[in-house]
């Protein structure tokens, strides 16, 4: 917390979740990655302006089990896109605060 700050943004540990969308055991398959990031906002007096809330964003992508490097690259790309989108959504929510 910064001395003299009017508001404090508390960020919880982000959690990435992956799930398979297609039922094929081999070849290309669709997956989804979801990012859940808890946050809250406190005033200088310690009262919560926003109690703990969660940002949730998701992204679908295709992977091929035969292409291990490409699979990890797609997952890394999905993580980056999800983080960028979560930051954008958080900024939008914070912009509306008094």
Domain that holds residue 39: 7-95
Mean pLDDT of 12-36: 88
Q: Residue 1: which pLDDT band, with cuts at 50, 70 and 90?
A: low
Residue 28 has pLDDT above 90, yes or no: no
Whether the Cβ atoms of residue 39 and residue 52 lie closer than 8 Å to each other: yes
CATH (domain of 38):
3.30.160.150
The domain tally of the chain equals 1
* Inside any domain, residue 38: yes
Task: Count CA within 13 A, CB hemisphere, residue 60.
Answer: 5
Please list, in sequence order, all residues whose beta carbon lies within 8 angstroms of the beta carbon of residue 85, skipping any fewer than 6 positions away.
Answer: 35, 57, 59
* Inside any domain, residue 83: yes
Mean pLDDT of 18-47: 89
* Inside any domain, residue 66: yes
Q: Residue 14: which pLDDT band, with cuts at 50, 70 and 90?
A: very high
pLDDT tens for each residue of 37-78: 999 999 999 999 999 999 999 999 998 877 777 888 999 999
* Inside any domain, residue 69: yes
Whether the Cβ atoms of residue 12 and residue 35 lie closer than 8 Å to each other: no
């Amino acid at each position: 917390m910064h001395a003299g700050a009017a508001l404090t943004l508390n960020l919880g540990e982000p959690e990435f979740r992956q799930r398979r969308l297609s039922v094929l055991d081999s070849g290309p398959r669709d997956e989804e990655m979801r990012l859940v990031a808890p946050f809250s906002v406190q005033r200088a007096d310690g009262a919560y302006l926003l109690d703990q809330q969660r940002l949730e964003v998701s992204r679908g992508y295709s992977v091929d089990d035969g292409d291990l490097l490409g699979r990890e690259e797609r997952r890394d790309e999905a993580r980056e896109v999800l983080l960028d989108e979560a930051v954008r959504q958080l900024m939008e929510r914070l912009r509306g605060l008094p």
